[in-house]
Structure formats: C-alpha cells, structure tokens
Amino acid sequence: MRPPGDVPFPTLDTDIRRSARIAGVLGAAVPGAVADFHPATLPRMARRTYALELTSTFFFALALTAIDGGVLAVLAKQTYSGIVPERVLNLCVGLLGAMDAAANILSFAWLSVGQGKPKIPVVNLLQVGVIATLGGIALLPQTPTGLVLLVLLAMIARSCWSGILTIRPTVWRTTYPASMRARVVGRFSTIQLIVVSIGGALLGRLLDVDRGWYGPAVGAAGFVALFAVVATSRIRVRREARQLRLERHGEPIMKPWHGPAAVWRVLRRDRRYAQFQGCMTVLGFANIMVNPILAITLKEQFGKDFFASILITSTLQQGMQIVAIPMWAKMLDRSHVVQFRAIHSWVFALSGLLLVAGAVLHQVAWFYVAAMVMGLAYGGGSIAWHLGHVDFAPPSETSQYMAAHVTLNGVRGLIAPFVSVTLYEVFKAAGWNASALVLGVSLGVSVAGAVGFSWLNASMKREMIGFSRAKKAAAS
C-alpha cells in the first residue's frame, strides 16, 4: 500500500528510467568536454602532476562512494529499522548524513601533521586511513553495536578525507596558475562526481536486490582505491622546499588542541574573512540540516527503498554537479568568492523551497526536482569550498585559512544534525508535519545566509570604492 499523497510514478522501474534519461542528458554533454580534461590543456610544467591527480581522483572516488553521507544515511535508515529504537536510529542517521561536515572538526589534527612537512606523504597516509576504515565497515554486523561502529568508522574515514581536503590546496596553489585553478579543481570534482553518482546508483540497485552485497562492494572499492595511493605517491610538488621554509618560519606549528585558538587568531586578524565565515556558517547550517531529514522522510513518509532514496540523497545531487561545475568555475575565476556566493547561495534557497513544497503537498516528485536543483548549488559550492579561502589568505597561511574554514564546517556539522533530528522528533510527537516544518526552518536559515552574503558583497564593494577614491585624492 502506497503512503497517502504519494504520487504513483516513482516505482523502482520508473526511477530507473528517470535516472537513465538524466544520465542520457548528462552523457550527451560529456563527449564535447572530454578534450578539456586532457593534460595538454595545461601549461607544460603542470601536466604530469595534473595527470597523476586525475588518476588518483578517479580511483579514490570509488572509496568515497561507500562513505558518502547520503549513501550512509540511507543505508542506516533502511538496514537498522526495527533493530534499534526509532529515535536513536534517526539520530544516527542525522550524524551519518552530516558526517561529511562533522568530520572536519579534526582538520587541525592533520594540519599539525602536515605543516612544515612534505605534503604528498601526508596525503598518502590519510588515503590509507580511509581505505582501512572501509575494510572495517565491510565486516559490520546488523546489530545495535554494528550501527554504533558504523558511525565511528564513518567519522574516522571522513576525518581522514577532511585532512586531504585541508592539505591539497597548498599543492594546487604552487602547481596551477591562478587564472585557471578553479577550472582545474572543477575537473577533479567532475571526475569524482561522475564516479560517486554512478557508483551510488549502482550500489542502491544492488542493495535492493540483496542488502548483503554492501560488505563485498565496500571491500572491492577499498582495494581498487589503492591505485589512487600509488598515483598520488608519484606527485612532485613544485617549489615545495621554498613553501616549507615559509611554513617553518611563519606561524608556529599547531598542535591539534590549539585548533580553536588558531581559528580565533585567523578570524580576529582578518575581519572580512570572519564575516565571510559567519555567512558560511548560517548557509552551511541550513544545508547540513537537509540530507538527514531526506533519508528519514523518504523511508517514513514515502516508504522508499535503497535505490530511490540514494537517487535523491546522493546520485541526483552528485550528477547535477557535473553540469554545474564548469559554469560556476568560470564565474569564480572571474570574481571574488564573496561576489560569487552572493549569487550562488540563492540556488540553495530555491532547492529548500522545492523541498518544503514536496513535504507540504506529500508528493515525492518535488524531492526529485529539489535534489537536482540542490546539485546545481553544490556544484558551485564544491569549488568555492575548496578555493574560497585563497581570496583571503597570504601564501604562507593557505593551509591555516583552509583549516579554519574546514574546522568551522565541522562545528556546524556536529550541531546541525542534532538540531534537525530533535526538531523532527518534537514536531512528530506533536502530530504535525515534521518533515515540512524542519525543512521550512532550514529554508529560513538558508535565506538568512544568502542575505548575509549579499550584504557582505555590497559592503566590500563600498569599501573598495572608498579606498580607490582616497588613493586618487592622495595622489592629487
């Protein structure tokens, strides 16, 4: 029996046909863009590193598929229903859905390891850490203990990935010219998204056949990801000796427990970066609230299975980023990140509005559309997330600015799922439409973040105009 208000078309067969049509649209655009990925499009000095990074990105994305927040949230909700109390399960689903952000709280631990040291060996160590946790996840039992271990291992895996995200921008800054850096990073993101989106859909279909396939699939992904470790180990960072000298003679090497103080120093010293991070916190909080509620709603309100749920929480979002990244990358290459966010953040607000409509009308079709719009927004967000701090940071402090950014993301990643799931349970206990109300709260927070970026952009423009006028007056 179908849940009340659910539209009839999202059956499994129709979901497959819909995803195939979307894949066809995306596939039609890919052949013309393949040439853009060739190393020959880059300056000669960057081609070898680029080719190795592209190879590493492809193979490591298979591991990331297995620990994607949307995939894990759906896996937990579908697998452990009836095994643990529903409130406990929803809280774990919330943590897993926001794990990508929550794990970033440990970024300073990896920064202290990497600062003043060659970056590639550190990245290799973190890659091996992710792969090792996949081996543990593949062996987990379907028991309450298994759910707890899933959350812990996912946290370790995503923490290692956050360390990689913290360190890589330093390599990019010395390797790729600023005029094309966003486009290069966009290519890496595109490859990763293609693999994760297709891999997530295939995994969902496989689990609908037999959920016992999760362990072998995760184990196989971890094994193949070893090729990424090999490719990364062959990268040579340009001018690394000079960069390491700057790091060693700059700010003292931070210990993990110094992280909060280091974040405070960066934000206190750079007022505009602090304002930028304030807006990011508001917008990011809203975004982190959404995915856990999607996994819960799709199971409880619409009765969706693995494939349909992963399609909405992961595959469609990842797939649409493939279309969006080239467009957003060109815009970011031509503008400051604040100007970029002042435009881009409103797309998140639009996706939130569509989700609220779907929850209010009890029609899952709106969730499919919202997932695609959300993917367009995340396409720009992924590039700005990696490179936005570069518009503020001095060259020798790139990693510290990135670590501050990643750590703050981790803070909201720890708080937002608790807020989201708690509100859901409170509204549900009161007999209200819990999904619609929580998504409505998220929409309001998202709009506040977009307004904040618009204000910051206008403020910085006024400041630049005033500075320019003062400079002309002094010259005359």
Q: Which of 115, 133, 130 is nearest to 229 (CA)?
A: 130
Tell me if 323 is assigned to some domain.
yes
Place of tokens 């062996």: 139
Tell me if 2 is assigned to some domain.
no
Sign of the four-CA dihedral 114, 117, 120, 124: negative
Strand, coil or helix: 84: strand
pLDDT tens for 117-159 read 788 888 999 999 999 999 999 999 999 999 999 999 998 998 8
Tell me if 401 is assigned to some domain.
yes
Tell me if 153 is assigned to some domain.
yes
Tell me if 4 is assigned to some domain.
no
pLDDT tens for 2-25 read 343 333 333 334 443 444 344 444
For residues 196 and 58, what is the distance between their CA atoms, to the nearest angstrom?
Answer: 9
User: What integer pLDDT is reported at residue 133 of this predicted model?
Assistant: 95
Cβ atoms < 10 Å from Cβ of 256: 13
- Residue 430, judged by CB atoms within 10 A of its CB (0-12, 13-18, 19+), counts as exposed
Tell me if 366 is assigned to some domain.
yes
Domain span including residue 319: 12-475
For residues 50 and 38, what is the distance between their CA atoms, to the nearest angstrom?
Answer: 9
- Do 158 and 189 contact (CB within 8 A), yes or no? no
Tell me if 3 is assigned to some domain.
no
User: What integer pLDDT is reported at residue 246 of this predicted model?
Assistant: 67
Q: Which residues contact 430 (CB under 8 A, 6 or more apart)?
A: none
pLDDT tens for 253-299 read 556 556 677 788 889 999 999 999 999 999 999 999 998 899 999 99
User: What integer pLDDT is reported at residue 302 of this predicted model?
Assistant: 92
Low-confidence spans in the chain with pLDDT less than 70? 1-35, 106-112, 114, 240-241, 243-244, 246-259, 466-476
**Number of separate domains in the chain:** 1
CATH number of the structural domain spanning residue 226: 1.20.1250.20
Burial 87-118 (b: 16+ CB within 10 A, else e): eebbbbbbbbbbbbbbbbbbbbbbbbbbbbee
Tell me if 370 is assigned to some domain.
yes
Q: Which residues pair with 84 in a beta bridge?
A: 81
